[in-house]
């Protein structure tokens, strides 16, 4: 090994962030690239799955359940807060994420008022239909339009990390507005079926 090769190998081993590829003993730095890690990919996949499920259920319609669970919004918020803990927060990130939360919460309130309440078989029935679908598309579009200008800023990682929390807050506001409407409506809600009754019905 020549003195030049020896120095190049020693520099490669002691300098973090350099590639291990050498040509004739000379090292070159690895080219930087911005890629989504596993956490970011999982956030987008979970968000897409949740939104798709909610849209399908609201579009198809169902009887207003006697117990309307807060579990899904709570889980999304907890997951989003946990991911946000890995982000370096700046004043810009706080401002942008705060604006996003306000807008998505407002759209959640609109979706809560867009769900139609009617009577079916004597019980209160809910159906979102195309207005709810349109508001969900608007919610996603607003999220994307907010994120695009800040992808290469300190707010970019914060927006990616809080994707689940953003949808969780939006769903929570939607549920709160909808629950208030159901309470004011006063029409009867179909009682929840017990497991034994459900099995007996299916066995007929």
CA distances from 115 to 50, 104, 107, 170 (A): 18, 17, 13, 15
In this structure, the answer to whether residues 87 and 129 fall within a common structural domain is yes
Let me know if residue 112 belongs to a domain: yes
Its domain, for residue 27, covers 1-32
pLDDT computed for residue 68 by the predictor: 83
How far apart (Å, rounded) are the C-alpha atoms in residues 174 and 23? Answer: 60
Does residue 49 share a domain with residue 134? yes
Residue 144 maps to a domain: yes
Residue 125 falls inside a structural domain: yes
Residue 179 lies in a domain: yes
pLDDT for the residue numbered 36: 43
Average pLDDT per 10 consecutive residues for the chain, totaling 204 residues: 49 43 40 44 67 80 88 90 90 95 95 94 92 90 91 91 91 95 93 60 46
User: Which DSSP symbol is given to 87?
Assistant: S
**Statement to judge: residues 89 and 154 lie in one domain:** yes
pTM of the model: 0.71
What's the confidence (pLDDT) of residue 57?
Answer: 81
For residue 98, CA distances in Å to 32, 46, 104, 144 come to 30, 22, 10, 15
- CA-based nearest residue to 43, from 74, 71, 91, 82: 82
Same domain, 51 and 27: no
**Is residue 203 assigned to a domain?**
no
Q: State the total domains in the chain.
A: 2
**202 located within any domain:** no
- My answer on whether 180 and 86 are in the same domain is yes
Residue 43's pLDDT is: 60
**Looking at the structure, do residues 7 and 100 belong to the same domain, yes or no?**
no
In a domain, 98, yes or no: yes
Q: Are residues 98 and 187 in the same domain?
A: yes
Please indicate, yes or no, whether residues 82 and 61 belong to a single structural domain of this protein.
Answer: yes
> Are residue 25 and residue 114 in the same domain, yes or no?
no
pLDDT at 15: 43
């Amino acid at each position: 090994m020549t003195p030049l090769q020896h120095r190049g190998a020693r520099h490669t081993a002691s300098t973090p962030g350099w590639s291990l590829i050498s040509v004739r003993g000379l090292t070159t730095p690895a080219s930087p690239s911005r890629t989504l890690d596993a956490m970011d990919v999982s956030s987008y996949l979970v968000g897409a799955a949740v939104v798709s499920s909610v849209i399908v259920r609201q579009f198809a319609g169902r009887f207003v359940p006697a117990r309307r669970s807060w579990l899904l919004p709570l889980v999304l918020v907890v997951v989003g807060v946990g991911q946000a803990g890995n982000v370096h927060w700046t004043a810009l990130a706080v401002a942008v994420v705060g604006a996003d939360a306000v807008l998505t919460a407002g759209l959640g309130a609109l979706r809560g008022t867009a769900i139609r309440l009617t009577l079916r078989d004597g019980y209160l029935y809910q159906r979102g239909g195309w207005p709810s679908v349109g508001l969900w598309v608007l919610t996603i579009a607003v999220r994307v339009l907010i994120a695009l200008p800040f992808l290469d800023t300190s707010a970019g990682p914060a927006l990616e990390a809080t994707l689940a929390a953003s949808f969780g807050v939006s769903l929570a506001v939607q549920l709160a507005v909808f629950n208030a409407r159901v309470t004011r409506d006063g029409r009867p809600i179909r009682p929840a079926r017990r497991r034994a009754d459900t099995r007996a019905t299916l066995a007929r």
